């Protein structure tokens, strides 16, 4: 009996000791977060910068802060009175703060995530003065896009954890975040800004659903400008509708219309179907009778009479293009268009790129070859169209479109360079030269692209107007069109390619590419000429036998006294935004026009500096 009693009390004692251990451990764990919560938590690894080809910062890491409540450390008597001040600093609702605090549903909850440094600074100052007991400030990695909307679809944006969700930020996430590399893009910020303004104006004046405007270096394939409208501010991408995030130039595919005749004529000439002396007759339509007796008729926009390759492009003759396409074997025609890159991705390294659609010739109907020759029954992307033009501009060699110029390791050394990448030879040099000459007539007084002509420079142009398919009827719409224009210049020594497409224009007197797209391409070409200093016929070209040394520019630094920043460009001010000891606000674009405080003013920790640019 005594043995059983001893065992009983032994078991009871063991269980009691175990229970005390569990309760003690629970109490320890419950108390532990209170200490950890008062310290700033480590953020994500630092993410590399994204810059344009001139070093302008398009994306950079900047510290952000989470502000949270740890209820066990709050003071019941003081917290209700502090809630109003806390709400004013964080932008939260006072009633919501009190509801979450008083409900007791969670001992730890966030008030605001990824807040700006001034919010964290105000909370910390209150804590230092003895207020806000139990309020936690966590430092986390954040992303700043100093140029705001500039190249937003190309650059992309990041989400929680500083991981890329779109554009280069997503496509190169492993490099930017995993390796801390910085990427220098091929785009020129000045060209990008000018072309965005042109596209934004086009959206307004035409009431379009979207506008795509690309500029490429004709010889290297480097993308100088990558514009899609509507756009968004990646600093606050959630404030814009998701539809504005859509990467139109790479993801959207459509029938190109008459601009495609450039590649049709190049294919026909290179395959030996026609040459400069070959003539076709346009009586207002393309006519063909199949061996089965089936009659095929494709209408033209006019009666152009006798036309050759040049006139087909100059007048955008549908019948002539159809007759020319009909001179070559469909398998050969398909192979040549495929060599231009149609039906496959360009490899521009942006997420979601479409391959477009070029059906296998086994599936073609009797109408397919002449119809494809006019830019129907084939689906392309804006990136494909601009890239394919490099084969015309570059003596017949197709170039891969490049958006990353080079990658820099965290120590500043070059990890790799995005050197020009020839894809394949598509055309004989003489074919490319012939097509360029024919396209130059399109910008003449009798050509459909005369409104794209820039004075004092030779312009190779092609316009297009494509009916869109109505998804409800699966037939061509009577009201929805895509107006487009392609330009290569200078035509005698191509340096730049510009491609513009306006999707569903609804305002204005016209929806034709030659009327609404061509004038905007002229503006884009003018902007590129001005930025690059490309020589023009009437302008003198100054040469120098030696190299000109330009002294390096260094970012602005603010010490104990405020310097005179008037006239300083925005890109040299950007490092100031990452300072934690002072608060810097930059308003506007260009150069510093005014500043506060005045030059010479003593600068102390917590000082607010305001810079207005014009």
Q: What is each CA distance from 553 to 409, 550, 573, 611, in whole angstroms? A: 21, 9, 12, 19
Residues 435 and 490 in one domain: yes
C-alpha dihedral sign at 517, 518, 521, 523: negative
29 contacts: CB under 8 Å, gap ≥ 6: none
Please give the pLDDT value at position 46: 81
Quick one: what percent of the chain has pLDDT higher than 70? 90
Based on the fold, state whether residues 215 and 279 are members of the same structural domain. Answer: yes
Flag whether pLDDT at 301 surpasses 80: yes
Q: 263 and 367 in one domain?
A: yes
Query: What residues contact residue 54 under an 8 Å CB cut-off, 6+ apart?
Result: 188, 189, 190
What is the maximum alpha-carbon separation in the chain?
123
Is residue 223 in a domain? Answer: yes
Taking residue 291's Cβ as centre, other Cβ atoms within 10 Å add up to: 6
Contact between 220 and 399 (Cβ < 8 Å): yes
CATH label of the domain that carries residue 92: 3.90.1310.10
Q: Are residues 81 and 199 in the same domain?
A: no
Task: Please determine, for residue 254, whether its predicted confidence score (pLDDT) is greater than 50.
Answer: yes
pLDDT recorded at residue 11: 46
Confidence band of 542 (pLDDT split at 50, 70, 90): very low
Domain boundary among 477, 511, 532: 532
Question: Is residue 129 a part of any domain in this protein?
Answer: yes
- Cis check for the bond before 363: say yes or no (omega within 30 of 0): no
Assign 509 a pLDDT band (cuts: 50, 70, 90). Answer: confident
Whole-number Å distance between alpha carbons of 147 and 610: 17
C-alpha angle 524-525-529 in degrees, rounded to nearest 5:
120
The DSSP bridge pattern shows strands 182-185 and 50-51 to be parallel
**Same domain? 470 vs 575:** no
* pLDDT of amino acid 541: 36
Of 250 and 544, which is predicted with more confidence? 250
Q: Is residue 514 part of a domain?
A: yes
**pLDDT exceeds cutoff 90 at 482:** yes
Looking at residue 13, its pLDDT comes to 54
Mean pLDDT to the nearest integer, 390-416 = 95
pLDDT at 116: 82
Residues 6+ apart with CB under 8 A from 185: 50, 51, 52, 53, 58, 151, 154, 155, 168, 403, 404, 405
**Residue 369, both tokens:** 């070859």
Predicted local confidence at residue 355, as pLDDT: 97
* Sign of the dihedral defined by the CA atoms of residues 119, 125, 127, 131, in that order: negative
Where among 486, 507, 532 does a domain terminate? 532
Q: Answer yes or no: do 222 and 115 share one domain.
A: no
Judged against a pLDDT cut of 70, whether residue 545 lies above it is answered with: no
592 in a structural domain: yes
Extract the runs of DSSP E, i.e. beta strands, from 98-153: 108-115, 135-144
* Residue 12 exposed, middle or buried by CB count within 10 Å (0-12, 13-18, 19+): exposed
Q: Are residues 499 and 580 in the same domain?
A: no
Report the CATH number at residue 258: 3.40.710.10
Q: 98 and 205: one domain?
A: no
Domain shared by 467 and 527, yes or no:
yes
Q: What is the mean pLDDT of the chain?
A: 87
Overall average pLDDT of the 10-38 stretch? 44
8 Å CB contact between 494 and 386: no
Q: Which residue, among 216, 247, 252, has the nearest Cα to 229 in the 3D structure?
A: 247
Count of domains observed in the chain: 3
Look at residue 156 and tell me if it is in a domain: no
pLDDT digits (tens, 9 = 90+) for 177-192: 989 999 999 999 999 9
pLDDT tens profile 236-249: 898 899 999 999 99
- For residue 581, what pLDDT is reported? 82
Model pLDDT for residues 348-392, shown as the tens digit of each residue = 989 999 999 999 999 999 999 999 999 999 999 999 999 999 999
In a domain, 505, yes or no: yes
383 in the same domain as 512: yes
Q: Which residue has the higher pLDDT, 25 or 55?
A: 55
76 pLDDT higher than 70: yes
Q: Using 50, 70 and 90 to split pLDDT, how confident is the model at 555? A: low
Indicate whether 523 and 574 sit together in one domain. no
Kindly report the pTM of this predicted structure.
0.79
Adjacent-strand bridge partners of 51: 57, 184
Express each pLDDT in 423-449 by its tens digit.
999 999 999 999 999 999 999 999 999
Residue 552: strand, helix, or coil: coil
The pLDDT of 549-561, averaged and rounded, is 63
What's the pLDDT at 586? 87
Per-residue pLDDT at 153 = 97
Q: Which residue has the higher pLDDT, 66 or 17?
A: 66
Please indicate, yes or no, if residue 18 is contained in any of the structural domains: no
pLDDT band with cut points at 50, 70 and 90 for residue 543: very low
Q: Is the pLDDT of residue 34 over 50?
A: no
Look at the alpha carbons of 579, 584, 590, 594 in this order and tell me if their dihedral is positive or negative. Answer: negative
Rounded CA-CA distance 140/143 in Å is 10
Domain boundary among 480, 504, 532: 532
Output the pLDDT for position 16. 54
pLDDT of residue 43: 44
Work out the end-to-end distance of the chain between its first and last CA atoms, rounded to an integer number of angstroms: 98
Query: Residue 446 and residue 448: Cα distance in Å, rounded?
Result: 7
Per-residue confidence band for 40, with pLDDT thresholds at 50, 70 and 90: very low
- Please state which of the ranges 14-18, 81-85, 137-141 shows the lowest mean pLDDT: 14-18
478: in domain? yes
DSSP assignment string, 257-292: GGGGHHHHHHHHHHTTS--TT--EEESSEEEEE-TT
Range with the poorest average pLDDT among 114-118, 185-189, 517-521: 114-118
Average pLDDT over residues 99-122: 86
In the predicted structure, residue 412 carries a pLDDT above the cut 90: no
The average pLDDT across 257-285 equals 96
Asked if 124 and 218 sit in the same domain, the reply is: no
Question: Residue 151, by phi and psi: left (phi above 0), alpha (psi -120 to 50) or beta?
Answer: left
Q: State what percent of residues in the chain have pLDDT above 90.
A: 60
**pLDDT range class, residue 554, cuts 50, 70, 90:** low
pLDDT in tens, 488-504: 999 999 999 999 999 99
The phi-psi region of residue 396 (left if phi > 0; otherwise alpha if psi is between -120 and 50; otherwise beta) is left
Q: What is the spatial distance between Cα 91 and Cα 97, in angstroms, rounded to a whole number?
A: 11
Q: Is pLDDT of 151 > 90?
A: yes
Name the residue range of residue 605's domain: 570-613
Per-residue confidence (pLDDT) for residue 77, from 0 to 100 = 86
């Amino acid at each position: 009996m005594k043995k059983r009693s001893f065992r009983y009390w032994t078991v009871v004692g063991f269980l009691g000791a175990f229970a005390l251990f569990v309760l003690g451990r629970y109490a320890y764990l419950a108390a532990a977060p209170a200490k950890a919560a008062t310290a700033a938590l480590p953020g994500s690894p630092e993410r590399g910068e994204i810059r344009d080809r001139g070093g302008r910062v398009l994306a950079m890491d900047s510290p952000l802060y989470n502000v949270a409540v740890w209820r066990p450390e709050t003071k019941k008597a003081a917290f209700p009175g502090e809630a109003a001040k806390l709400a004013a600093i964080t932008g939260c609702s006072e009633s919501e703060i009190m509801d979450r605090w008083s409900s007791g549903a969670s001992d730890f909850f966030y008030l605001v995530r990824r807040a700006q440094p001034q919010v964290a600074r105000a909370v910390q100052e209150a804590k230092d003065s003895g207020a806000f007991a139990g309020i936690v400030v966590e430092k986390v990695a954040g992303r700043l896009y100093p140029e705001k909307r500039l190249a937003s679809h190309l650059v992309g944006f990041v989400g929680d954890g500083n991981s890329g969700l779109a554009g280069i930020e997503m496509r190169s996430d492993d490099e930017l975040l995993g390796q801390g590399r910085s990427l220098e893009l091929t785009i020129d910020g000045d060209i990008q800004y000018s072309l965005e303004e042109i596209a934004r104006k086009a959206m307004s004046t035409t009431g379009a659903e979207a506008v795509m405007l690309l500029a490429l270096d004709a010889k290297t394939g480097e993308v100088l400008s990558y514009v899609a409208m509507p756009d968004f501010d990646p600093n606050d991408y959630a404030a814009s509708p998701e539809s504005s995030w859509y990467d139109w130039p790479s993801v959207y595919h459509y029938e190109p219309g008459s601009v495609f005749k450039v590649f049709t004529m190049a294919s026909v000439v290179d395959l030996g179907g026609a040459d400069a002396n070959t003539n076709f007759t346009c009586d207002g339509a393309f006519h063909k009778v199949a061996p089965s007796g089936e009659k095929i008729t494709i209408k033209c926009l006019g009666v152009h009479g006798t036309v050759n390759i040049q006139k087909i492009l100059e007048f955008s003759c549908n019948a002539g293009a159809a007759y020319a396409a009909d001179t070559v074997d469909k398998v050969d025609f398909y192979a040549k268009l495929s060599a231009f890159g149609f039906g496959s991705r360009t490899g521009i390294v942006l997420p979601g790129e479409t391959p477009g659609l070029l059906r296998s010739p086994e599936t073609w109907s009797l109408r397919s070859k002449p119809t494809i020759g006019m830019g129907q029954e084939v689906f392309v992307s804006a990136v494909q169209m601009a890239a394919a033009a490099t084969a015309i501009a570059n003596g017949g060699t197709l170039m891969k479109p490049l958006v990353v110029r080079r990658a820099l390791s965290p120590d500043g050394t070059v990890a790799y360079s995005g050197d020009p990448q020839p894809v394949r030879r598509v055309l004989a040099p003489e074919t490319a030269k012939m097509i360029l000459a024919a396209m130059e007539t399109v910008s003449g007084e009798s050509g459909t692209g005369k409104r794209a002509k820039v004075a004092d420079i030779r312009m190779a142009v092609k316009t297009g107007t494509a009916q869109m398919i109505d998804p409800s009827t699966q037939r061509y719409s009577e009201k929805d069109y895509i107006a487009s224009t392609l330009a290569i210049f200078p035509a005698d020594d191509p340096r730049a390619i510009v491609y513009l497409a306006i999707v569903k224009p609804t305002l204005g007197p016209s929806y034709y590419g030659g009327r609404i797209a061509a004038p905007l391409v002229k503006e884009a070409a003018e902007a590129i000429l001005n930025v690059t200093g490309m020589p023009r016929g009437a302008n003198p070209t100054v040469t120098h036998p030696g190299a000109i040394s330009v002294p390096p520019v260094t970012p602005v630094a603010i010490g104990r006294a405020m310097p005179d920043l008037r006239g300083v460009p925005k890109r040299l001010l950007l490092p100031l935004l990452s300072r934690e000891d002072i608060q810097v606000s930059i308003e506007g674009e260009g150069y510093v026009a005014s500043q506060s405080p005045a030059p010479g003013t003593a600068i102390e920790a917590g000082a607010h500096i305001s810079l207005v640019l014009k």
